[in-house]
């Protein structure tokens, strides 16, 4: 079974980031279509994969994380405008039957990501 999943770790606090809104978009040329939304749970993960099935269509996708809203909710004082507000990760799916796990390691002034397993 193919799937696309994510999780968010708050590296400034050393714990999973609960309550982060995540939106998934499918990109086709100039079109950007909303495909799924979720909010991270207490483990920093979504309760179900954002996409799953026998296949995930090959193509370009974007994950948009509401980082600024999460950080404010945690009591972090951010400048106006915040250095990071929405974190957008654009990535490609080439293996339609593959598992794609795209984590976000987040702090108020930086983030990193990678293709996990």
Q: Where are the domains of the chain?
A: 2-113
pLDDT at 58: 97
Burial class (CB in 10 A: 0-12, 13-18, 19+), 79: exposed
CA distances from 39 to 65, 95, 97 (A): 9, 26, 25
Regions of the chain where pLDDT drops below 50:
none
Provide the whole-model pTM: 0.96
Q: What is the pLDDT of residue 117?
A: 84
- Among 93, 104, 89, 96, which residue's Cα sits nearest to residue 20? 104
Give the fold, CATH level 3, of 2-113: Immunoglobulin-like (2.60.40)
pLDDT given for residue 108 in this prediction? 97
């Amino acid at each position: 079974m193919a799937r696309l999943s994510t999780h968010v770790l708050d590296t400034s606090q050393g714990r999973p980031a609960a309550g982060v809104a995540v939106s998934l978009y499918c990109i086709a040329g100039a079109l950007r279509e909303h495909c799924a939304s979720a909010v991270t749970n207490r483990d920093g993960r979504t309760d179900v994969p954002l996409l799953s099935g026998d296949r995930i269509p090959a193509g370009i996708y974007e994950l948009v994380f509401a980082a600024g809203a999460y950080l404010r909710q945690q009591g972090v004082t951010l400048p106006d405008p915040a250095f990071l507000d929405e974190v957008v990760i654009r990535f490609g799916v080439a293996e339609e039957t593959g598992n794609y796990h795209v984590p976000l390691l987040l702090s108020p002034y930086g983030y990193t990501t990678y293709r996990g397993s």
